[in-house]
Amino acid sequence: MTLHLQRDLEAVKSQLLDMGSLVEKVSNQAITALQERNTDLSAGVHELDLTIDQQEVKIEEECLKILALHQPVATDLRFVVCVMKVNNDLERMGDLAINIAERASYLSSHEPLGVPLDFHRMAELAREMVKESLSALLNLDTDLARKVLAKDDEVDEINRQMFEILEEIMLKDPTTIRRAIHLLSASRHLERIADLATNIAEDVVFLVEGEVIRHLPEDYNRT
């Protein structure tokens, strides 16, 4: 690898880390808005999302520049392509966080449902998964990537529980339906953020081990 290529790869890694921090920030803000019924926080996420969108375009341009200038092959080529995919996934996470914030905004202006929903644990897991999947990519750490895959199962389980709790309350009291549907959506969006982190982790395993695990049965290769 030439020194110039190495330098440019380091630069794009650092930009991707920044992008990851932005996504983490916007997700945290959306979840806090949801949990604390804070409309100011909901409104603030849009500005962050703009920055994420700009960062996505910048990283993609950087990757194209690296491909055109250095014409990397083998592992370096795969790494750059992987960064482009991850960049795209991170941007989608930002969009999902915006959706959560919009649900939070609706819910803040209506009576709380007063049911125990474990958004806290779900958000904590999603946050860890985003952080760890990025770290796995930047350090080519497949053990960490596989930890991310295992966490996704817990997120799916919490999402399923949310569905049951919310269905029950809707059945008991139909006036809760609209709010419950907004909460269901927020839960599903959070679950999709975790899914996207799972995509990243799968891409890391593929990058390092050349093994496509993203289309294997769910219980395969997760430990």
Q: Which residue in the set 5, 17, 81, 138 belongs to the binding site for a copy of itself (CB under 8 A)?
A: 81
Structure tokens at 31: 């979840």
Q: Give Cβ neighbours of residue 193 (< 8 Å, ≥ 6 apart).
A: 27, 93, 96, 97, 126, 130
Span of 32-40, 112-120, 130-138, 165-173 interacting with a copy of itself by CB under 8 A: 165-173
Q: Measured between alpha carbons, how far is 38 from 167 in angstroms, rounded to an integer?
A: 25
* 11 is a contact residue toward a copy of itself (CB under 8 A): no
CB of 141 to a copy of itself, least distance (A): 22
* 2 is a contact residue toward a copy of itself (CB under 8 A): no
* 64 is a contact residue toward a copy of itself (CB under 8 A): yes
Amino acid identity, residue 207? L
* 171 is a contact residue toward a copy of itself (CB under 8 A): yes
* 75 is a contact residue toward a copy of itself (CB under 8 A): no
Span of 35-43, 101-109, 112-120, 207-215 interacting with a copy of itself by CB under 8 A: 207-215
Span of 4-12, 15-23, 38-46, 57-65 interacting with a copy of itself by CB under 8 A: 57-65
* 184 is a contact residue toward a copy of itself (CB under 8 A): yes
Span of 1-9, 21-29, 48-56, 133-141 interacting with a copy of itself by CB under 8 A: 48-56
Binding site for a copy of itself (CB under 8 A): 50, 53-54, 56-57, 60, 63-64, 67-68, 71, 73-74, 77-78, 81, 84-85, 88, 163, 167, 170-171, 174, 177-178, 181, 184, 212, 214-215
